[in-house]
Amino acid sequence: MSQIILYGLVGSLISLLGGILLLWRADFAKKITNILLAFGAGTFIGIALLDILPEAVEMTPEPDNIFLAAAIGFAAFFAFERYFMKHMKLGASKHNHSEHVESLPWMLVAGDTGHNFLDGVVIALAYIANPLLGLPTAIAIALHEIPQEIADFAILLDRGWSRVKVIAVNILSALATFVGIAVAYLALPFLETSLPILLGLIAGVFIYIAASQLVPEIHHRAGHEHANRILLAFVIGIILIWYLISLTH
């Protein structure tokens, strides 16, 4: 068990590295916020469609349930945002754009926490299946999450979060990896059958964040300006995830 926890620690530290490096150049990051938002949208789409969903489909002979789970994850976060917006008191008499994006930071944190939990489950299951797979699995997971962490840090900074708060929240989110490891270790028979569905749910959450939160925010902030740079950043985010996945499989 202690060795699995060590692998989880290695994976968490590597994945946080990109975001922490971004904090060193926070002022510069704010100047290219629209580019980073587009990059973030691309990485979320890439992780959901090129990594999480294919991995879930490979785990089950009935992939239809995976896509249903993705739809449920998408719908669940849509409902979450609607109720969040309904009950948030922003001091405004009627809806405005800032009310819509107010929920974005916490939705990112929730989605990332769920993903970290499942990463812990995957690391533990890989180790249980073959102890030699534990460390390579942790490193592979961490490497293709670095772009997502960079995007997360950039978005939270743009929402006005302090560096200390961004780091603290991301560390707490990373602790979900160890919860996933513990749950997988103690509840292996249940998770072996449920993991594909859980992955589908997380994929739906990530697609929702990209399509409903990040892309509209880019349109609102950038308007018709910098179209080529924004589109390029979005495509680079997808291609980078695809490339990292191809290296780690």
Give tens-digit pLDDT for 209-246: 888 877 887 887 777 777 888 999 999 989 988 887 88
**The domain containing residue 194 runs over which residues?**
2-248
Which stretch of DSSP H or E encloses residue 12?
helix 2-24
pTM of the complete model: 0.67
Q: How many domains does the chain have?
A: 1
pLDDT in tens, 49-78: 988 899 889 888 888 899 999 999 899 888
Please tell me the distance from the alpha carbon of residue 231 to that of residue 229, in angstroms, as a whole number: 6
pLDDT in tens, 11-50: 788 777 777 777 776 666 667 778 877 887 888 898 889 8
Contact 12, 188 (CB under 8 A): no
Please tell me the distance from the alpha carbon of residue 16 to that of residue 18, in angstroms, as a whole number: 6
